[in-house]
Amino acid sequence: MAAIVSNNPGVKPGSLRENIVTPYVEQPDHQSLVIDTKYEPMHNLIVHAEGYQWKITYYSQILGADSSTAGQNLGKSQAYQRYTRIIDLLVKVTSPISMSQESDSKSLNTTGEMILPPTLIPNAGDMFIADRGDGVLGIFEVRDSTKKSVFKDAVYSVTFNIVDEAVKANDPRIIDLDKKTSNKKVYSLDFLENGQNPLVDEKEVRVVRDMYIARKEMLHRYLHKFYSDQFKVMLMPNQEGSVVYEPYVTKHVSRCYTEVDHADLAKLRVLNVSERPEMDFTSFWDALEQRNKVLLEDAFKGAINASVGVFSRIPTNASVRYSGCKFVVCPLGGEFTTDKETFGGVNNSVYTAYYGYTTIIPFAKDIIESNSDFKMTIEPQVFKAYKGRPLINQIFPNESYVMSKDFYQGLTDGMSHLEVLTYQYFRDEYLNQDVLMELVDDHTNWGVLEQFYYVPILLALLKYSIRTK
């Protein structure tokens, strides 16, 4: 705690003005015995290293137990000299390419220095191809490397020199390097910044790029369809002309995406429904965002559309009652908490088995009764099957919220492919990429209600699949 110390302790009693002193704050020395043993990876420090970026194609030697490092030898068979090719490797040049002349032979040496990412350990004799800066490809050889470490992480400072230039695509050195390439990798800066191995197999890169593109396009199409520019919220579609505010999907979109992802999200509003304790029940979307199967068990499994008339008449900030919407999606049931029991309107509530869901918490009569004004008919639909299982199940809001009852009960035989992937997602399991991309390709054929609820789930699964590569 800071101590207030007088800067004039020798003042004698006298007039009031004389006794007024100006204190100054003296901060005591802080001592702590707390030791943080958490390991923080520093792989992405290369992003902040000094130097300018240079994109190169790197050929790393594949060395055996008895192998020695050596530069490219056009006369050596590929059985004795093999490489791993890394495309689009980003390095930081710390010392630009310069020329010097040997005093004895008078020959010219072109050398430079650069820093390699931490996941790559260079060896003397490694080769790389890059633009020299004048539009001509240079073929370079690594001469030496120095390890620069921070705790458990390290980058490598490399000196190199140019051995040749490739004035044509079929240069003998380039042909020889490609012939001796056994492994093909692509460098991903995004993977490095997110703590993943940035060296990705060429085959996987195509899949990852397809996922990135699909995710971006799907989000734009989704917001174009379901974001209401008039109400500035996510409206539940296919409600026979009724304006139904979906607070849980709106909150999910507002928490997971920003105006960087789509310009309309800068205007997205989350309307005030928190005055009703029932609206604070854990939802499927809370569990999805945290990938928490315990929250999924606690989440409400059923929902109804309640009139905005059950919300307060007080014109509070962003109140849903005065938003122009007619109905609000409200949960049926939910996990027990003393607050919900105490402040959940027990005196004006009933236990109900509404649409087959018995509420754990007494549910307000006015919400149940307000649903009588809402009319909705859903025609059964059949969606595409893949390998004997439907890609998605049709959504029946009166039976189950978002997912089917089989999903919430863990019965995989009755789940769709989307539900199986989501079930695996909550258990940190590998997702079948073929099924995932089949869902991406087919999502425009779904009904509007299925797109409204399932596309955000599919976007989360795509992100998970990318990050678990």
Of the candidates 306, 248, 281, 293, the one whose C-alpha atom is nearest the C-alpha of residue 361 is 281
Phi, psi of 368 (to 5 degrees): -60, -45
Other C-beta atoms closer than 10 Å to the C-beta of 18 total 10
Our CA dihedral for 213, 216, 219, 221, rounded to 10 degrees, sits at -70
pLDDT tens per residue, range 188-211 = 888 877 778 889 998 888 888 899
Quick one: pLDDT at residue 105?
A: 64
Quick one: pLDDT at residue 346?
A: 38
Report CA-CA distances (Å) from 456 to 206, 300, 460: 23, 18, 6
The DSSP bridge partners found for residue 61 are: 83
H helices of 159-201, in order, are: 172-179, 189-193
What is the dihedral sign for C-alpha 8, 9, 12, 18? positive
Spatial separation of the C-alpha atoms in residues 290 and 250, rounded to whole Å: 17
Quick one: pLDDT at residue 104?
A: 72
pTM above 0.85, yes or no: no
- 466 touches 447 (CB < 8 A): no
382 CA to centre of own chain = 32
Widest CA span of the chain, in angstroms? Answer: 101
Residue whose structure tokens are 């042909």: 175
Other C-beta atoms closer than 10 Å to the C-beta of 220 total 14
Let me know if 317 is exposed, middle or buried by CB neighbors in 10 A (0-12, 13-18, 19+).
Answer: exposed
Let me know if 457 is exposed, middle or buried by CB neighbors in 10 A (0-12, 13-18, 19+).
Answer: buried
Token pair in block for residue 29? 């020395």
Spatial separation of the C-alpha atoms in residues 303 and 334, rounded to whole Å: 10
- 110 touches 97 (CB < 8 A): yes
Of the candidates 449, 454, 410, 405, the one whose C-alpha atom is nearest the C-alpha of residue 301 is 405
Residues of the chain with pLDDT under 70: 1-49, 101-103, 105-108, 150-152, 315-318, 333-377
Spatial separation of the C-alpha atoms in residues 385 and 417, rounded to whole Å: 9
> Cα angle vertex 299, ends 295, 303, to 5°?
165
Report CA-CA distances (Å) from 117 to 57, 94, 145: 13, 13, 13
Residue whose structure tokens are 């789509």: 262
Quick one: pLDDT at residue 322?
A: 86
Chain length of the chain: 469
Quick one: pLDDT at residue 31?
A: 58
The bridge status of strand 181-187 relative to strand 83-101 is: parallel
- HEC per residue, 123-169: CCCCEEEEECCCCCEEEEEEEEEEEEEECCEEEEEEEEEEEEEECCC
Quick one: pLDDT at residue 454?
A: 97
